[in-house]
Structure 1
Amino acid sequence: MRYLMADHTDVGIKKKTNQDSYMIKEAQTKLGRVFFCVLCDGMGGLANGELASAAVIRAMEQWFETDFPQILRQVTDVEEILEKVKNNWYGTANVLNLQLAQYVEGTGKRMGTTIVALLMIKNEYFIMNVGDSRAYAISNQVYQLTKDQSLVQQQIDLGRVRPEDAERHPQRNVLLQCIGASEEVLPDFYRGTVLPGTLFLLCSDGFRHEISEQELFMQLNPSGLVNEERMKERLVYLTELVKSRREMDNISAVAIKAVQEG
């Protein structure tokens, strides 16, 4: 499997700084090409959110460059690899949570960040999610792969809020968890098969608040995205669309299309 990739970020129409951060990595291994992407949406006011998201990105980048190669040297079975990855990510998320909390201890300030991380290896995808940034898969329709760790999602699960009202709910930005401001971080993990032709989308909540899944599918239908330039154009178009609809948050998205080699 090979991957086409595009990314785009925008500070938006209101905020002075962009507190979103993301990184994209790809490597050739003995199990074939491996793809890794992490996206974070920082919060905490001014530089604090930017610092939080950037710190998590740096830590995950270091994991990919140092710890992950060690895992691949130790085991070759994908089941074992992903179990070790899960344990690594859980530990990393909680170490970072403690470090960020200690950084602002005594200042009266708070800082934190969401994280959605995607690893694709040997035709498998593995995702970690904390907060309300999202991962989608788009093929014949749009599939939301992650579930928001948010107050509104909790109220939907309890039957107190209708799903169609979620994006207009006054508490839509209230998180149940984030890295840096939770007592303990309990990430959600997701796994599935990477099918050729599928487009994966990682995005901050600012990217998807003002657009529907139908609009996502119309612009990011993988059958029409034949190269990275076209993918980039669609991400820019959707970003400008949500800005025109007065989205106030930072806006970031990464698109990855899986393509069969040969």
Structure 2
Amino acid sequence: MTEIGLAAAERTLSVPGRPDASLTIAWGAGTDTGHRRDHNEDSLLAVPPIFAVADGMGGHSAGDVASAAVVTRLSEVITADFTEADAIEQGLRAATVDIGHAADEKQLGVGTTVTGAALTLLDGEPYWMVFNVGDSRVYMFENGQLTQVSVDHSVVQEMVDSGLIRAEDAESHPDSNVITRAVGFNAEPYPDYWMVPVRAGLRLLMCSDGLTKEINAERIRLYLAAGLRPSDTVDGLIDAALTAGGRDNVTAIVVDVLEAADSSEVEDTLPRSQVPTP
């Protein structure tokens, strides 16, 4: 388990090329081994402009090595308050090489998921560039509504998309832990991207599946809706996952946009509908 960055902080950033525009974000981050694992293979990065969660796989310490490589390499590509997709991919490629060097030849393979959000500029406007490889997730919460931004790279997600199973049955399916894309395994990483405008009042959640396999979307929404500080929200979510069973490592990052320039003229690229409010 590797944690890079502050567990709780607030920061104001200037928007390049717009001396009259700035944005203020606050975040909280945390991780726990859970009740059934003897070590934590999750890692996290919470250093603007990149916030990321990685969930390693490979057994023993191998998963920890893989997830640590990803967050370490992503931290190394941070050179300013805003970044680009090329930098994210540079970090993931470097991590893939590191994972390949660390992998034991006797093991079937070593890899990790990674999901996160990075501040970027699109036509001069600040956006969250959400990126994902695997089945860790990014959600957004705004105006009382929870939306899953990322799309799982998993066998059950493909079955849901093809209509073979219902979305509500995915977590209990025997293949719920089988992912179709990862960082590592000596393969080129292929993240998916979505663009979300940086709007005041927007709240992002990045988490490993140790959270989403224990508490459902509506419970997640309620925790995000409570209006607590990001660090307190993270603590509450992790405690809820542990109380529900804590069968896996659980990691979460919550980022709030406290202040931002008006972005009413820009659009997002969300692939998922909102989780309905009862």
Q: Structure 1-normalised TM-score? A: 0.82
| Counterpart position of 1:163 | 167
Q: Residues 140-187 of structure 1, C-alpha deviation per residue, up to 9 Å, x if partnerless?
A: 200111000111111111111110101111111101011112633221
Paired position in structure 1 for 2:62: 48
d(CA) in 2 for partners of 1:136 and 1:108?
Answer: 33
Query: 37, 40, 47: which is aligned to 1:18?
Result: 40
Alignment of 1:37 onto 2:51: yes
1:100 is displaced (CA, Å) by: 1.6
Distance 2:42 2:102 in 1: 19
Distance 1:250 1:119, change over 3 A: same
Name structure 2 gaps, 5 residues minimum: 1-22, 262-278
* 1:76-131 C-alpha deviation (Å, 9 max, x unpaired): xxxxx86xx22232343234324423432633342111111311245311022100
Identical-pair percentage: 28
Listed as ranges, the matches of 1:162-241 within 5 Å are 162-181=166-185, 183-221=187-225, 224-225=227-228, 228=229, 231-241=230-240
| Higher RCO, Cα 8 Å, sep 6+ | 1
**Partner of 2:170: helix, strand, or coil?**
helix
Greater strand fraction, Structure 1 or Structure 2: 2
Task: For 1:38 and 1:87, locate their aligned partners in 2 and report how far apart those are by CA, in whole Å.
Answer: 16
Give the aligned length. Answer: 234
Give the secondary structure class of the aligned counterpart of 1:167: coil
Unaligned runs of 5+ in 1: 27-34, 73-80
More helix as a share of residues: 1
Relative to structure 1, the CA distance from residue 209 to residue 259 in structure 2 (aligned partners, 3 Å threshold; closer, same or farther) is: same
| 2:150 paired with 1:128 | no
Residue identity opposite 1:196 in structure 2: A
Q: How does 1:141-156 map to 2 (within 5 A)?
A: 141-156=145-160
TM-score normalised according to structure 2 size: 0.78
Partner of 1:3: 25
4+ runs of 1 displaced by more than 6 Å?
A: none
Cα deviation 1:185-208 (Å, max 9, x = unaligned): 221111121210111010001011
